[in-house]
């Protein structure tokens, strides 16, 4: 199945590792130019080097930016448009979870940071992509939420609340930006990333036993879904949330 991404330009936030890196690599594999963004330039440069070596025919731009900083975000989008002439795909992937524990114990600073990175950044970068490029040429926005935005869990309730907001923001933007821009969302289950390490590293085998598909997710599992939502195969989809979780949300209770 052809994706139609050859020669398009995609910007991925949180692209230095995990799901963001895997998504950037997967988009490059389809022939898309990729713009990599995260906080640390040196980490981005390493990813850019890997992509250039593996896919020498695609354009790669690495531009550091704090995802919740409006000036840095605008500079990154401006750089993407200047380098490649426009922006066709935006993947809002960057996320954080500075608090682990009940919501009754979260400190205001941790709550503010979680909202800034997980929730406000989706609004900020989508606004910029729309105003700087997609209003004229159309495009696709893909927001990385979490299956936690659909359920309740111990320890990461506030993180999940922001991801529930991302799911609704995706619907709202889909309505507001149609028909020029499609906006969809991915809700990953437990994926083996550095951000989620505390949730899986010490008991991966035990958790996997309760997963209907028998394993935890890999970043590439989510990247494949992102490529689908970015490309032509999903051209009649907008405002939707794809759950990619190995079946965890439908597993029977073990209580």
The owner of tokens 């606004």 is: 127
Reference 32, options 92, 93, 91; nearest CA is 91
Query: Is 183 within the bounds of a domain?
Result: yes
User: What is the CATH number for 47?
Assistant: 3.40.50.720
**Total domain count for the chain?**
1
Query: Is 1 within the bounds of a domain?
Result: no
Beta-carbon contacts of 202 under 8 Å, excluding residues fewer than 6 positions away, are: none
- Whole-number pLDDT of residue 169: 98
Is residue 12 within 8 Å of 24, Cβ to Cβ? yes
| Helix H or strand E segment including 188 | strand 181-188
pLDDT digit of tens for each residue in the chain (255 aa)? 689 999 999 999 999 999 999 999 999 999 999 999 999 999 999 999 999 999 999 999 999 999 999 999 999 999 999 999 999 999 999 999 999 999 999 999 999 999 999 999 999 999 999 999 999 999 999 999 999 999 998 999 999 999 999 999 999 999 999 999 999 999 999 998 877 666 655 677 777 877 889 999 999 999 999 999 999 999 999 999 999 999 989 887 655
Query: Is 15 within the bounds of a domain?
Result: yes
- Whole-number pLDDT of residue 206: 78
Q: What is the CA radius of gyration of the chain?
A: 17
**Active-site annotation holds for 159:** yes
Query: Is 146 within the bounds of a domain?
Result: yes
246-255 burial by CB neighbour count: b if 16+ within 10 A, else e?
bebeeeeeee
Query: Is 3 within the bounds of a domain?
Result: no
Query: Is 59 within the bounds of a domain?
Result: yes
Query: Is 61 within the bounds of a domain?
Result: yes
Burial class (CB in 10 A: 0-12, 13-18, 19+), 75: middle
Query: Is 152 within the bounds of a domain?
Result: yes
- Whole-number pLDDT of residue 246: 94
Domain that holds residue 14: 9-245
């Amino acid at each position: 199945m052809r994706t139609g991404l050859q020669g398009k330009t995609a910007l991925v936030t949180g692209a230095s590792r995990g799901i963001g890196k895997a998504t950037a690599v997967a988009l490059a594999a389809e022939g898309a130019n990729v713009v990599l963004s995260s906080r640390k330039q040196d980490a981005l440069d390493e990813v850019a080097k890997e992509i250039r070596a593996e896919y020498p025919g695609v354009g790669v731009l690495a531009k550091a930016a704090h995802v919740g900083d409006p000036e840095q975000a605008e500079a990154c989008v401006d750089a993407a448009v200047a380098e490649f002439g426009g922006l066709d795909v935006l993947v809002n992937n960057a996320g954080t979870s500075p608090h682990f524990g009940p919501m009754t114990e979260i400190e205001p600073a941790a709550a503010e940071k979680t909202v800034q990175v997980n929730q406000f950044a989706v609004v900020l970068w989508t606004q910029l992509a729309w105003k700087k490029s997609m209003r004229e040429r159309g495009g696709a926005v893909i927001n990385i939420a979490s299956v936690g935005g659909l359920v309740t869990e111990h320890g990461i309730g506030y993180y999940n609340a922001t991801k529930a907001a991302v799911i609704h923001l995706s619907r709202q933007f889909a309505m507001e930006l149609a028909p020029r821009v499609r906006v969809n969302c991915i809700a990953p289950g437990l994926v083996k990333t550095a951000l989620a390490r505390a949730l899986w590293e010490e008991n991966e085998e035990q958790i996997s036993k309760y997963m209907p598909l028998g394993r935890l997710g890999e970043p590439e599992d989510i990247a494949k879904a992102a490529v689908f939502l970015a490309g032509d195969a999903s051209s009649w989809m907008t405002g939707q949330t794809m759950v990619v979780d190995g079946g965890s949300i439908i597993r029977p209770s073990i209580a």
